[in-house]
Structure 1
């Protein structure tokens, strides 16, 4: 059964129009013989639709996901509850097929969504202005650093910590490879906190990038770091968890200049790693350096409320050298989902979600340390993530055993230890080698947490349990 809708006559007509005798001629003119496959693809025989559907379903069922397994994975992507109305609204045709609102007169609905999203993000962060979203949390963090470097002329030092998300730091190192900028990675203390950042700040510091809660779940003293940065004339960038702001202070209330986040936890599914949603907000006086799109509200010539793109930072009609960023699009559909999700929760719902995460995380800590095999790394409170050390030192085998029992028990931190990119430490310190990261969201029940601890305890080599 063929899924190619062009007939032989169609192909002959198109080839004649461009003066080619065959598709192979076109390919051979463009692709060197040395890199061509030189054989037929090893495809199975054609099958009819019913058989194909059954085969694809069988292959898809081999994936472990948050529906087939109980999920304790975190590290920036979380199994939060998504109300049904989020899917209902986001799947409407006028939203689901939307792309770029170049023509404001035919895109008022999408522009209004952007404006409503931006309004909610400014309320959430306590900062004056938000863009219409970026690609994900990692690109948002890097764009914030580039924004700070462009703002802080004459300064080229970027200070961060080894408990900021390793992937965010890897993206940052790759972006700054050909820029006159220095990345300083400060070692966190034994409890996973980055107070040492303060001592590293000097008169060459353009910005400080701190994550709160950080990658291993620790809570940072952002207000103290922001105050030290401000005293030295540097900017503070906070990478935050949107759900955490149900209980933690807003970035703007702690003196942060630019706030960024991964917005997946706001009404967006795990989706095997993406697409996700990059959140960015900043002080109002920095708005002209803010990358991405900004939707504004105004009135038309009839006096009716309407929405437009404003302060555009990089579109096709803007000269490249005048652009503030290479980012030229946004995640409108995922931002819509976040807008609906936040509107449904409201302040009380967000606080309740945070409280559930905090309480269930503390319970998970208690049940896992009741065994002799496991210990919690670091002290202090957690919002929804913490690090567990396996005293047997066989984390990969442990997590594989859990997966075989329909449990995604955590993220192995061992492969992240000591990683480097462009000469910059992007990985975790050595003390996390025999550890795994656990995330407990509001979806996890007491029974699931008890099951999680029991399965881990009865994994191979657990005589101590």
Structure 2
């Protein structure tokens, strides 16, 4: 016989009520006014067995539409080695999720330490924290760090080519902190850095940019750091970390802060999350770095050990002195990224980045030959590119016809920005996971629709 799960029996309730000197549940809630009490019983159906629940969930899951994804705009379908799921799901990692007690969590602390080391190597920066919630959160933390690092600063410059969600988070941050954002406009799909000097003043704490940007285009930051540093302002660059196997790193651009999201390194699409933000800085900013930081030390007998260090967080010190109010990190997602990077190595990263680049350019070249769509900006890109259609009707037809053939053609930018100017832009992402057969399938469908 299968019984429903009952947290408390009638006898349990009676004992608990007697312990506090009451005789009934009604007496327990007698202090509540009649207007907030339900007049009827709560309409909850009877319990279900485990098998019934499983069948119900399976029937709901069948409604999900599956297809070949050429989707991107911040979340990408990359190859993930089987080692990632196999190792990250070990009980010794999953149960030691919050490493407050170093003596209980040495394995996880070491994994986080390796994550920090790998992020530093990828970004060419000096020190990284133990991860943040996601890339947008990392941008807001960078803005906070900038303002905190310069006295009397209240303004942060941000590129208009940041991911739309990142801009929204920054706007929320500014509203909540009383700070201001100053938008640096774009030109030909990239941030217009010729405007930088005119926008800088003594109140500016720094500049946040992104490459690849919201259109998938790569940006050049030659001489930007020098202009900012002359005004005592900081420079932060947001990157897809896999792209750094091919393009210049934040450290090579002389940036002060490197931020981004590690979704492309070992984290599945998972309907949009969870993800894992990263943040790395120059050594001069070490004590202003938000969140957790794992350090390597030695005990009295010379044995190596790992521990949380430089914890300038609101749980440990006076709230007004905290560098940030972030309370945790994406430990499990950071672990998955660490395992992914360990499995690939630098050669594997370069191979994945090169294949993504080559396949994206192959598809973009052939699509640009079709009528009704163009690659409007002659700018370098990595694995994602913007297709601009001649009219919205043709764009909708294109997306629907390809979906009918099991292909998710791309992300319509206006669904994220809600702006009229983006209505004809389709962002198409191609990763190393897309096969030659899938690319040809996309092209064949596109030729039929756009003829």
Give the alignment's TM-score, normalised by structure 2: 0.92
Q: Deviation per CA, 1:150-199, whole angstroms, max 9, x where unpaired? A: 00112222111221011111111111114342211122112334324524
SS in structure 2 of the partner of residue 449 of structure 1:
helix
Is the CA contact 2:150–2:233 (under 8 Å) kept in the aligned structure 1? Answer: yes
Cα distance change on mapping 1:356 and 1:26 into 2, 3 Å: farther
Please state whether the residue corresponding to 1:260 is helix, strand or coil: strand
Q: Report the CA distance between 1:299 and its aligned residue.
A: 0.4
Judge conservation of contact 1:157–1:181 (CA < 8 Å) in 2.
yes
Q: In structure 2, what is the equivalent of residue 198 of structure 1?
A: 196
Deviations 1:414-450 (A, max 9, x none): 2344x5xxxxxxxx6x432211111111101122122
Contact 1:192–1:378 (8 Å) recurs in 2: no
State yes or no: 1:167 paired with 2:165. Answer: yes
Q: Contact 1:162/1:188 (CA < 8 Å) preserved in 2?
A: yes
After superposition, what is the alpha-carbon deviation per residue over 1:226-274, rounded to whole angstroms, capped at 9, x for unaligned? 2321222210011111000111111111111001111111111111121
Distance 1:79 1:297 in 2: 34
Q: Alignment partner of 1:316: what SS?
A: coil
Aligned: 1:110 with 2:108: yes
2:76 alignment partner in structure 1: 78
Deviation at 1:275, TM superposition (A): 1.4
Name the counterpart of 1:214: 213
Q: Which runs of 5+ in 1 are unaligned?
A: 420-427
1:448 to 438, 444, 449: 438
Contact 1:161/1:197, CA 8 A, preserved across alignment? no
2:184 and 2:191 in contact (8 A); partners too: no
Does residue 435 (structure 1) correspond to residue 437 (structure 2)? The answer is no
Work out the CA distance in 2 between the residues paired with 1:442 and 1:219.
18
2:343 alignment counterpart:
344
Matches within 5 A, 1:179-198: 179-198=177-196
For 2:318, the equivalent position in structure 1 comes to 319
Counting matched residue pairs gives: 447
Distance 1:59 1:159 in 2: 45
The answer (yes or no) to whether the contact 2:208–2:236 under 8 Å persists in 1 is yes
The match for 1:61 is: 62
Deviation at 1:371, TM superposition (A): 1.7
The aligned residue for residue 49 of structure 1 is 50
Pair 37,248 (structure 1): closer, same or farther in 2 beyond 3 Å: farther
Match of 2:405 in 1: 405
| Pairing partner for 2:13 from 3, 6, 11 | 11
Give CA deviations for 1:45-101 in whole Å, capped at 9, x if unaligned: 65443343222112112223xxx3111111111101110011111010011222221
TM-score by length of 1: 0.89
Answer whether contact 1:158 1:205 (CA < 8 A) is retained: yes
Aligned-pair CA distance for 1:317: 3.3
> Could you tell me how far apart the structure 2 residues matched to 1:160 and 1:270 are?
27
Where does 1:140-151 land on structure 2 (aligned, <5 Å)?
140-151=138-149
User: After the TM superposition, which of the residue ranges 293-302 and 46-55 deviates more from structure 2?
Assistant: 46-55
Q: Is the 8 A contact 1:238 1:258 kept in 2?
A: yes
**Local SS of the residue matching 1:222:** coil
Alpha-carbon RMSD across the aligned residues, in angstroms, is 2.4
Residue 409 of structure 1 deviates from its aligned partner by 1.6
Cα pair distance change 1:196/1:62, threshold 3 Å: farther
Deviation at 1:407, TM superposition (A): 1.9
Query: CA 1:39 to 1:251, structure 2 compared with 1: closer, same or farther past 3 Å?
Result: same
Q: Which residue of 2 aligns with 1:425?
A: none
Gapped regions of structure 2 (runs ≥ 5): none
* 264-273 or 370-379, which deviates more: 370-379
- Whole-Å separation in 2 of the counterparts to 1:254 and 1:227: 10
DSSP-derived class of the 2:306 partner: strand
**Equivalent position SS for 2:252:** helix
* CA 455–110 in structure 1, closer or farther in 2 if over 3 Å, else same: same
